[in-house]
Amino acid sequence: MSKDATYLIVGASLGGAKAAETLRAAGFDGQVTLIGQETDLPYERPALSKDYLQGKAKRESIYVHPREWYDEHSITLRLGARVVGIDRAQHEVTLEDGDRAGYSKLLLTNGSSPRPLRLPGAELDGVHYLRTVGDSDLIRAAIAESSRIAVVGAGWIGLECAAAARLAGDEVTLLEAAELPLLRVLGPEVAQVFAALHRDHGVDLRFGAQIAEITGSGGHADGVRLADGTRIEADAVIVGVGISPNTGLAEAAGLEVSNGVRVDAQLRSADPDISAAGDVASAFHPLFGQHIRVEHWANALNQPQTAARAMLGQDVSYDRVPYFYSDQYDLGMEYSGYVEPGGYDQVVFRGDVGRREFVAFWLGSGGQVLAGMNVNVWDVNDQVQALVRSRQPVDQAALRNPDIPLESLIGS
């Protein structure tokens, strides 16, 4: 590859940093530029709702690399710089300040953003979303200053924030429109485990909650009013109602967008010089035979590495089993696999669900393992992934029986 080539990466977070790192590791000696609108060094987000939010991790611990690393690897880091347009004909991007930057190849790792609540009062002070390290700082301060927190949305972010607020001693009311937390992602069998976990830790869970308004006084949120008239008093409101991929740039540039920037298994869009990876990408997954968009840390860690190698002309494709993890109170879990909402036949448990020490398997109609979640059970993730990858029917009695090693079921 020519020294004159410029590889430009838009989005300086985990995905962007990993792509830049891979380009250098693969021997690319042209220009690598990483442009990001945030002012912090590229960082990882999971701790923002866990250790960092709870004040147990330092800011430096979330950075992908220290500042010197970028200089040492001749990676130009342009932070606090927002890209506002892509000119595909000219092979240039435009920045908010009017500057332009050329590219030979362009990688979009510009991630996703929290979905805003569109309700009266949503703009009040004291209404928080969590995406950036700055958001996490503000929520940590709000938790410290408050005694009552309302959390809107019982997804992963909402649940982890609820746990952080409870651990800090606040009263927490968790408001969720569905009948259980994480219902769409996990289905009722395992969602109940998370409802019980939070109930046992003193969270006031309100399911089927339709929020009418965030109430306030003096410009600051002071509670939530539900459609049935119920009022919940709160000193701060944390909103976690999902995210949307940041597809505006790609769409305006005429690239195909369908719940993410549509790319092939090599992470390339229909424009041979533009790729996308991480939260923003809807990538064809060879294992599942369809495009999927994955909003997880492991995907942001690994997929951009494949994208970078494919941009260098290497014959690679991305087919890892989706993986994510969560920590709430004393519950740690890992989930591997892919299940569309409601897209499974049954859940099989192995272990002790009551003690929250088990592995759950989501089975398809052919008896194959679509996904597995190990809860407070460790060192089984490789086997769970192998079961998902095998796509073979598995003996359910054996799957339930913790005395039968999971390895022996792979490909059975």
Ligand X SMILES: Cc1cc2nc3c(=O)[nH]c(=O)nc-3n(C[C@H](O)[C@H](O)[C@H](O)COP(=O)(O)OP(=O)(O)OC[C@H]3O[C@@H](n4cnc5c(N)ncnc54)[C@H](O)[C@@H]3O)c2cc1C
Binding-site ranges for ligand X (CB under 6 A)? 10-16, 35-38, 45-46, 48-49, 82-83, 109-112, 130-131, 157, 246, 249, 278-279, 295-298, 300, 324-326
Q: How far is the CB of 90 from ligand X (least distance, A)?
A: 18
CB nearer ligand X, residue 232 or residue 249? 249
- Least Å distance, CB 348 to ligand X, is 24
**Which lies closer to ligand X via its Cβ, residue 24 or residue 82?**
82
Least distance (Å) between residue 237 CB and ligand X:
16
The minimum distance between CB 355 and ligand X, in angstroms, equals 23
> Quick one: 15 or 121, whose CB is closer to ligand X?
15
Question: Which residues pair with residue 6 across a beta bridge?
Answer: 31
User: In whole angstroms, how close is the CB of 369 to ligand X at the nearest point?
Assistant: 20
Residue whose Cβ sits closest to ligand X: 111
Q: Smallest distance, Å, CB 409 to ligand X?
A: 26
CB 260 within 8 A of CB 293: yes
Q: In this complex, which beta carbon is closest to ligand X, that of residue 117 or of residue 232?
A: 117
CA distance 65 to 252: 32
- Residue type at 267 in one-letter notation: L
Backbone dihedral angles phi then psi of residue 61, each to the nearest 5 degrees: -70, -15
Which CB, 16 or 351, lies closer to ligand X?
16
**Rounded to the nearest whole angstrom, what is the least distance from the CB of residue 1 to ligand X in the complex?**
24
CA angle 44, 49, 54 (to 5 degrees): 110
What size, in residues, is the chain?
A: 412
Closer CB to ligand X, 215 or 247, in the complex: 247
Query: Smaller CB distance to ligand X: residue 249 or 410?
Result: 249
Q: C-beta of 29: minimal distance to ligand X in Å?
A: 24
**Nearer CB in complex with ligand X: 143/410:** 143
**One-letter amino acid of 5:** A
